[in-house]
């Protein structure tokens, strides 16, 4: 391993649990030091301790920060600069989810989601991406969702923010690919995490039938796609089936969904 690689970090937002933690573990297996960033100080400490025990020769750091706040990206970048951390891998994974009509949702919640899914990831890509471009080496994974391709009621803001991240990532991929920087947008379907607030028994059945995937499965496929320079990755063949069904769905079914949830 080169001296530069030994000093290089993978920065994972939302890395204290779920898919984020799986990303941190996967990049650590690739030999990178890890910086976990999330707004859960207790989970940060637990994840840091667990990863450090698994990878005793690598630096495992964590940082408590609310990425929904204005200027969060600049503050995080400045922290890495002050600590002389070489961020060779950036994983924009932090996310939030709610289900409900736009006009019934507090605007403050909408603003938090757009900041977390759009503004902060784009700013982090710009700040760390510039350094990667100058070094002619780097990896960026932006976590979108299969909903980026959809237009359904009750998740209007969520799917719109993910669509933004998908389009942004495609453009960034084109801008940075010939500088040795690989940008991948991962668009999973349902993932077995606490994000959806589903009962554990329901999640177990969904995983059994392949409707849900584990965080570890998502992380492995996303990292593999990123290393291979893939622009977009939709993990799981069943998600292509769901997309096909959505585009073939009669309008009256969507009308039933609207009546039920909005």
Give the strand order in the sheet containing 60-64: 60-64, 33-38, 8-13, 86-92, 138-143, 181-186, 232-233
pTM confidence score: 0.91
Positive or negative, the CA dihedral 194, 199, 202, 204 is positive
Dump pLDDT digits (tens) for 93-152.
Answer: 999 988 889 999 999 999 999 999 999 999 999 999 999 999 999 999 999 999 999 988
Distance between CA atoms of 39 and 57, rounded to whole angstroms?
26
- Secondary structure (3-state) at 214: coil
3-state helix, strand, coil in the chain (%, to 5): 55, 15, 25
Question: Residue 155 carries which DSSP code?
Answer: -
Distance between CA atoms of 141 and 150, rounded to whole angstroms?
21
Dump pLDDT digits (tens) for 197-206.
Answer: 667 777 776 6
Its domain, for residue 61, covers 3-261
Give the chain's domain count.
1
Instruction: Give the containing element (helix H, strand E) for 64.
Output: strand 60-64
Distance between CA atoms of 83 and 16, rounded to whole angstroms?
20
- 121: domain CATH number is 3.40.50.720
């Amino acid at each position: 391993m080169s001296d530069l690689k030994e000093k290089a970090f993978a920065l994972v937002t939302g890395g204290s649990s779920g898919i984020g933690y799986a990303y941190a573990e996967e990049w650590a297996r690739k030999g990178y030091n890890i910086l976990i960033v999330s707004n859960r100080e207790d989970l940060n400490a637990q994840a840091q301790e667990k990863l450090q025990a698994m990878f005793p020769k690598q630096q495992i750091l964590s940082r408590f920060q609310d990425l929904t706040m204005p200027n969060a990206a600049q503050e995080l970048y400045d922290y890495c600069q002050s600590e002389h951390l070489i961020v060779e891998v950036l994983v924009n994974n932090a996310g939030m989810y709610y289900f409900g009509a736009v006009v019934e949702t507090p605007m403050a919640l909408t603003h938090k989601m757009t900041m977390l899914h759009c503004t902060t990831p784009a700013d982090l890509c710009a700040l760390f991406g510039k350094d990667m471009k100058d070094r002619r080496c780097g990896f960026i994974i932006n976590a979108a969702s299969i909903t980026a391709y959809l237009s359904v009621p009750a998740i209007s803001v969520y799917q719109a923010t993910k669509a933004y991240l998908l389009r942004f990532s495609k453009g960034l991929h084109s801008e940075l690919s010939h500088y040795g920087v690989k940008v991948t947008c991962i668009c999973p379907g349902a993932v077995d995490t606490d994000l959806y607030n589903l009962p554990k028994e329901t999640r177990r059945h969904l995983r059994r039938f392949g409707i849900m995937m584990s965080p570890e499965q998502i992380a492995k496929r996303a990292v593999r796609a990123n290393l291979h320079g893939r622009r977009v990755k939709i993990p799981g063949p069943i998600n292509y089936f769901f997309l096909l069904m959505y585009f073939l769905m009669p309008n009256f079914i969507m009308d039933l969904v609207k009546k039920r949830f909005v």
